[in-house]
């Protein structure tokens, strides 16, 4: 009977230890999942920010082109087409001119 009591006490202590280890492991897994999700969100937000900044710059160029055309009473599409056809005369970045022309064509 004394042996059974000792065996039960050892089993109860082992059970408590195993449960503590399981809870600790669960906390580590959940913590890692949250850290990974936070990192992925941060990267995604950073990448979206770059895209948004590019769009803002494009809209700024389109807006400036429209304002300038209105001031000079000129055809915006013709002016930007000329820029796209002769990029060295006007700008070093032909891709910017092409995207600006695309948006202006949609707006006008």
With cut-offs at 50, 70 and 90, classify the pLDDT of residue 9.
Answer: very high
pLDDT at residue 68 tops 60: yes
The alpha carbon torsion through 32, 34, 40, 43 (nearest 10 deg) reads: -110
73-98 pLDDT per residue, tens: 776 666 555 454 444 444 545 555 55
* More confident call, 90 vs 60: 60
Q: List, in order, residues 6 or more apart from 66 with CB less than 8 Å away.
A: 76, 104, 107
């Amino acid at each position: 009977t004394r042996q059974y009591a000792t065996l039960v006490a050892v089993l109860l202590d082992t059970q408590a230890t195993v449960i503590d280890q399981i809870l600790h492991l669960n906390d580590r897994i959940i913590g890692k999942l949250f850290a990974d999700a936070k990192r992925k969100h941060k990267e995604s937000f950073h990448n979206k920010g770059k895209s948004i900044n590019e769009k803002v710059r494009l809209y700024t160029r389109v807006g400036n082109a429209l304002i300038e055309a209105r001031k000079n009473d000129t055809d915006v599409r013709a002016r930007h087409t000329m820029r796209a056809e002769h990029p060295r005369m006007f700008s070093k970045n032909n891709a910017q001119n092409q995207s600006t022309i695309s948006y202006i064509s949609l707006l006008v």
